[in-house]
Amino acid sequence: MTSNLSYASGPSSRPLLGETIGANLRNTVAQFPQQDALICVQQDFRATYTEFYALTERIAKAMLANGIKKGDRVGIWAPNRAEWVLVQYATARVGIILVNLNPAYREHELEFVLNQAGVTAVFAAKVFKTSEYKQMLYAVRERVESLKQIIIFEENWEEYLQHGESFSTYELHSIEQNIQFDDPVNIQYTSGTTGFPKGVTLTHHNLLNNGYFIGVRIQYTHLDRVCIPVPFYHCFGMVIGNLACTSHGACMVIPAESFDPEATLHAVETEKCTSLYGVPTMFIAELELPNFSRFDLSSLRTGVMAGSPCPIEIMKKVQSQMNMAQVSICYGMTETSPVSTQTMIGTPIEKQVSTVGTVQDHLEIKIIDPETGDIVDRGIAGELCTRGYSVMQKYWNNPEATEAVMDESRWLHSGDLATMDSEGYINITGRLKDVIIRGGENISPKEIEEFLYAHSGISDVQVIGVPSEKFGEEVMAWVKVKEGIMVNEDQLKEYCQAISHFKRPKYWKFVQEFPMTVSGKIRKVEMRQVSTIELGLEAVDKIKTS
């Protein structure tokens, strides 16, 4: 008898991979030594699996020779480029914990993360767009006691690697053999309602298996070539992208340092990619290119769309106009490595475009009443929870935040509202948490509020998300100005240049008071409704998404 409760587990004929990322990479190299592993178009970089493995070994030796050891935290601060991927696998091989630094960080965000994780060394690009990474790293160095090494790819990278040339290969391999698959391998910082970024601590077991089983669902083999325009500092790039490839012997193709729709389609065409990734805004930008029809996308068959809800009409265009009939929708969060649910190849079209699929292999999901914690009946909205191998180890050095999202039975509470239908398909209907998701970026309203509170002319401020056709949501600030002080929108926009571009409010509203409940709580739902009408975004808010 089938239960009517909103609970599902993911049966699988394939066992979990009980090995480290390094061991899995060795197996892939042994099977496909001459297959392309990594291609970076803008750097004119190409490496077979044999060459890729040798390069990761050279980097691992250099880190060990420079005194970095198992368990140390090493930051990487760069856009998508070959070095990012090489450092990812080099650190994993020897048990060093990679800390992903968001390319959009400003100084105060960088300083917080480096201190919170106790980062020993940072590998970085010199500059990216308007961000002077080298300059910012040296500016915060005195305030980050743990930071001993700064390696700039364009300057001292080769010199740094030479230090490892005398390091014993035998000693390297003995270190590798002592790495356990439950050891932490990665820390990714994610915003939440508490305001300060939290370091999601992920293990080899978390990441490798999630990447592998994502690849299983879209039937990856060593013949696949995956175009990855999504950022590596996100799980989307480094797990759904890189680890899904290397665990199946597929090729990772980097089209550009950051998303460029024309460069992406050029890479698909010239490298004959079989799979393409993106958040919905990326696919929209590609489809809207004036010269879109000139690109030969006939090699494509599949891909992944994730990060934010996808308008159904866009999904249909991706399937029909981009030759991606087998495109897959993924849903998850950094805390679940990231994918909890995914559509499969062969999913009926109506499910493929209106849901986020079914529970991933070897995982459990349930939907609960947020008030009682009881599992709700199918078709009833509640909070989606995930349990299984993919659930993070913890938030780094933050037990209180860990306990707030993970219960005693190790269910990870997503804060997302969802429903489960009779066949187990999941539809995301909203969020309990007060997090804004703009183009796949999780943004904490509290973090922006705290930043704006420091402005001398602001008495009070509330930050909300409002609908956006392009990004899913945009940031809006409702501001109360101190009596007798003149503050305008332009001044506040200038003030916000000190924070990451995606966190800067696009819309501003100056108010005398905020809508409140009888008990004195701010009614952000009402603020969003009012703003949606005032900004003329009602039609955008009604765009149907999966």
Q: Give how far Cα 402 sits from Cα of 72, 373, 393, Å.
A: 21, 18, 9
Residue 6 has pLDDT above 90, yes or no: yes
**Cross-strand pairs, 277:** 304
**pLDDT by residue (tens digit) across 457-504?**
998 899 999 999 999 999 999 999 998 999 999 999 999 999 999 999
Whether the link from the prior residue into 338 is cis, omega within 30° of 0, is yes
What is the residue-averaged pLDDT of the chain?
A: 94
**pLDDT by residue (tens digit) across 279-300?**
888 998 999 999 999 999 999 9
- Which class for 154: exposed (0-12), middle (13-18), buried (19 or more C-beta within 10 A)? exposed
pLDDT of residue 536: 95
**Cross-strand pairs, 383:** 368, 417
Residues 6+ apart with CB under 8 A from 422: 378, 379
Amino acid at 309: P
Q: What is the mean pLDDT of residues 103-121?
A: 96
Residue 524: which pLDDT band, with cuts at 50, 70 and 90? Answer: confident
Amino acid at 362: H
Residues 361 and 10 sit within 8 Å (Cβ to Cβ)? yes
Residues 6+ apart with CB under 8 A from 19: 27, 181, 204, 208
Q: What is the mean pLDDT of residues 61-72?
A: 98
Question: Which carries the bigger pLDDT value, residue 508 or residue 540?
Answer: 508
Residues 6+ apart with CB under 8 A from 242: 85, 88, 211, 228, 232, 252
Question: Which carries the bigger pLDDT value, residue 315 or residue 69?
Answer: 69
Residue 519 has pLDDT above 60, yes or no: no
Reference 344, options 366, 364, 359; nearest CA is 359
> What tokens were used for 234?
């996100």
Measured CA to CA, the distance from residue 329 to residue 325 in angstroms comes to 12
